[in-house]
Structure 1
């Protein structure tokens, strides 16, 4: 039995779906099916049962899964140890960023890494938060910054901070409603957020909490565009508290009082690379920048 076959077995077990596993493994579905069949023939028993929604482990598969995971961990540790014998940390990492570099404290982080590890090249790619997480899940990026809750078991997260978000509306609109009644906010138009951004889920959570279902009159994929649309009189939007307060102080928007929405800002990376020396270095470099400790990694 080969390591790559065990990796396929574990990935299918985690995803519960052959197509999703194939996507993560960068293989065709027939190739994944063939590898699973080869493993089952070698062990002499079925490891998966097909269901309407995908596949589930048999009792034999459930018994073998933890051992397969242990073998993969040991193989990664062996490889990581071999890499550490080469000497100074070298290589290139692809990092996805969302929001703005100052919010993410990218400058101090990369500067610290460059000073300590001059042979490590950090490549930054601006993207939408949802796309960053998905690219990390597919291993198209080595790591990235993500706003919101991470739903994937094969992606590890380091919680950096809780961002405070506030509702803003075009100047003068606050007088149109009774701000003491949150349901009044549902009568006004809102600037929608693209479904490819995790901000969309955060806004939807807020609407459920306020028990409103407002009309979306426009859509964008970042907070800065949303701010411009609010100032232009398009509708309400959720902004980072610092940006909302500055806009309110300039007199270009009205700030809805008291309502605050919290969102998790996280650093995400593939779970099966947690022992990779480069990723450990990236995480360690974030901790002093954000004032964190290692037990925040999940």
Structure 2
């Protein structure tokens, strides 16, 4: 059964007259009659009773009319929605995600993008920060989040926040020696960070600043795992303060007060993508989520 046949059925039922229905449908009366006949043949029962004054619905016709109206209403809604989508941004964005979704504000950002650009397909790919930056550099990702300094001239970056870092040790270790002295800190075993994580470079930078060269007894690339190793007494580590403070409040790790570092959280994308509509849309919705100046972010996406 076709939509146009259902439309003829509903129109005739509403008008109660074939001629008037034909006028509204911009069809000839024989064409409307043929459509009604086709519907009746498909459902296997008469839907109208004919008389000199017009037509009236049979009992079966009365039962089917609300369903036919609902189908036509759904078809109109579908068409209206499709028309509303016409001309809207469409495409796909491969986005590199690292750290935690709460920290990156992924939920509000993706929700805003989905609401405003329903035809835009977003694919989130999780990875270590260094991997994300490298894939963006090779244009295997359209954009992503990176923690640290951007060393590539073919990668553009928008600064989102400065994340404080701190040195953490197992509880009680601060009493073992004067850990306010870098020399003593350097004698402790450390939980290292994978070379693919940008935190590895920042840790190495801290060691150079303190002129220490600790022994790494373990290595990982995940904050929660690192803090668990510290809490278990494996060694000291440089960690994000937002992750360390809850464990310090529970007495599971100790934050040393004399050592401070920070890392810049960046939104990175290939320079060659500047001006592309999809990238511009991603940047436009990123601005309010992070409280950034929309004009500045828009200029970054427009080149």
- Same fold per superposition (TM over 0.5): yes
What CA deviation, in whole Å up to 9, does each residue of 1:10-40 have, x standing for no partner? Answer: xxxxxxxxxxxxxxxxxxxxxxxxxxxxxxx
Tell me which residue corresponds to 2:165. 165
**Structure 1: which 5+ residue stretches go unaligned?**
1-85
Q: CA deviation at 1:295?
A: 3.2
Q: CA deviation at 1:285?
A: 1.0
Tell me which residue corresponds to 1:94. 94
Tell me which residue corresponds to 1:277. 277
Q: Secondary structure at the match of 1:196?
A: coil
Matches within 5 A, 1:36-115: 87-115=87-115
Q: CA RMSD in A?
A: 1.4
Question: Is the aligned partner of 1:118 residue 2:115?
Answer: no
Tell me which residue corresponds to 1:230. 230
Whether the 8 Å contact between 1:129 and 1:197 is mirrored in structure 2 is: yes
Question: Is the aligned partner of 1:295 residue 2:296?
Answer: yes
Tell me which residue corresponds to 2:176. 176
Moved over 4 A (4+): none
| Matches of 1:146 and 1:274, distance apart in 2 | 18
Tell me which residue corresponds to 2:261. 261
| Matches of 1:295 and 1:209, distance apart in 2 | 34
- Report how many residues are paired: 213
What CA deviation, in whole Å up to 9, does each residue of 1:99-153 have, x standing for no partner? Answer: 0100100000000111111111111011000000000111111110000001000
Whether the 8 Å contact between 1:188 and 1:215 is mirrored in structure 2 is: yes
Larger C-alpha radius of gyration, 1 or 2? 2
| Matches of 2:291 and 2:269, distance apart in 1 | 19
Larger relative contact order (C-alpha < 8 A, sep ≥ 6)?
Answer: 1
Choose 204-213 or 108-117, whichever is displaced more: 204-213
Whether the 8 Å contact between 1:162 and 1:262 is mirrored in structure 2 is: yes
Q: CA deviation at 1:284?
A: 1.3
Choose 234-243 or 174-183, whichever is displaced more: 174-183
| Matches of 1:214 and 1:295, distance apart in 2 | 42
| Matches of 2:183 and 2:273, distance apart in 1 | 45
Tell me which residue corresponds to 2:201. 201
**Structure 2: which 5+ residue stretches go unaligned?**
1-85
Q: CA deviation at 1:157?
A: 0.3
- With normalisation by structure 2, the TM-score equals 0.68
Choose 102-111 or 239-248, whichever is displaced more: 239-248
Whether the 8 Å contact between 1:97 and 1:125 is mirrored in structure 2 is: yes
Whether the 8 Å contact between 2:223 and 2:243 is mirrored in structure 1 is: no
Tell me which residue corresponds to 2:140. 140
Q: CA deviation at 1:183?
A: 2.7
Q: CA deviation at 1:173?
A: 0.6
| Matches of 1:132 and 1:211, distance apart in 2 | 30
Q: CA deviation at 1:177?
A: 1.8
Whether the 8 Å contact between 1:179 and 1:257 is mirrored in structure 2 is: no
Tell me which residue corresponds to 2:44. none
Q: Secondary structure at the match of 1:111?
A: helix
Q: Secondary structure at the match of 2:107?
A: helix
Whether the 8 Å contact between 1:223 and 1:238 is mirrored in structure 2 is: no
Q: CA deviation at 1:92?
A: 1.1
Q: Secondary structure at the match of 1:195?
A: coil
